[in-house]
Amino acid sequence: MEGGCTYEDYQNTAKWLLSHTKHRPQVAVVCGSGLGALADKVTQAQSFDYSEIPNFPQSTVLGHAGRLVFGFLNGKACVMMQGRFHMYEGYPLWKVTFPVRVFQLLGVNTLVVTNAAGGLNRKFKVGDIMLIRDHINLPGFCGQNPLRGPNDERFGVRFPAMSDAYDLDMRQKAHTIWKQMGEQRELQEGTYVMLAGPNFETVAECRLLHMLGADAVGMSTVPEVIVARHCGLRVFGFSLITNMVIMDYESREKANHEEVLESGRAAAQKLEQFISILIGNITLPDNS
């Protein structure tokens, strides 16, 4: 694989984890900025700092704890990433997505992705939850793709389809559960666009992204989804809208990371409850 990461590297990490925990997860959850508390809902929890795990990158961002948590969420065997990796930290994309292939080797078949994002859709409000219907991989437009380099057929095909990246059945289930929860705001659904970061977008960039049909913008998630679909995992995901992007040159407002974490806190609890219920309703293949 590009960057010197071999199938054996993934295997070695998976074997290390399997030998250090009795948990056998079927669902993996990537907790985005400010959403790490979801892992606190896990029962029979066993956690590993990323620094303990062979070949694992380290998370360097405020709001990302940097731990892998195994256990049960609403009756389902899960593994949670408390903190993810990003291009802007200096990691190549094969390293950003390293955990996803490890999860597949652990026996995971469903990946849930979450992130904090800026709202481009003018109908959105801060605190809204957006179910991800599709994504735009902007770094991919200029060759930054986690599947770049030699393809290993043991993970997946050379040219994987992405038209069905976000599972339709799970999206429909999410809408049903949201209605049952009786929330005042409707569950939003839309397209997430990824930029490399770490700077927030200019007004002109935000206007362009809006014209491209994106509803929310962030600096993560898409690489993990591409690798997950490549190796056959079912994917669904959510963006927590923590700020509305600036599209007006007269505006004095400015996006900042602390504000993103702060405005995400109250809404994060709602998203955590929602994901917990949703995971409880996932139909999993019988591994016995």
User: What pLDDT score was predicted for residue 184?
Assistant: 86
Residues labelled as active-site residues:
33, 64, 86, 88-89, 116, 219-220, 243, 257
Least confident of 16-30, 92-106, 221-235, 243-257: 243-257
CA distance 160 to 164: 10
Q: Report how far residue 160's alpha carbon sits from residue 226's, in angstroms, rounded to the nearest whole number.
A: 9
pLDDT band at 3 (very low <50, low <70, confident <90, very high): low
Average model confidence (pLDDT) across the chain = 91
Cα distances (Å, whole numbers) of residue 261 to 78, 115, 120, 195, 268 = 25, 11, 18, 19, 10
Question: Is the pLDDT at 182 greater than 50, yes or no?
Answer: yes
pLDDT at 1: 43
Q: Answer whether residue 171 shows pLDDT above 60.
A: yes
12 C-beta neighbours (distance < 10 Å), count: 15
Q: Which residues are paired to 73 by β-bridges?
A: 76
Residues 202 and 168 sit within 8 Å (Cβ to Cβ): no
Specify the 3-state DSSP secondary structure of 51. Answer: helix
DSSP 214-267: -SEEESSSHHHHHHHHHTT-EEEEEEEEEEEPP--TT------HHHHHHHHHHH
pLDDT of residue 266: 75
- Could you list the beta-strand ranges (E) of the chain: 27-31, 43-49, 67-73, 76-82, 110-119, 129-137, 188-194, 216-218, 234-244
> What's the whole-model pTM score?
0.94
Closest by CA to 230, choosing from 162, 130, 140, is 162
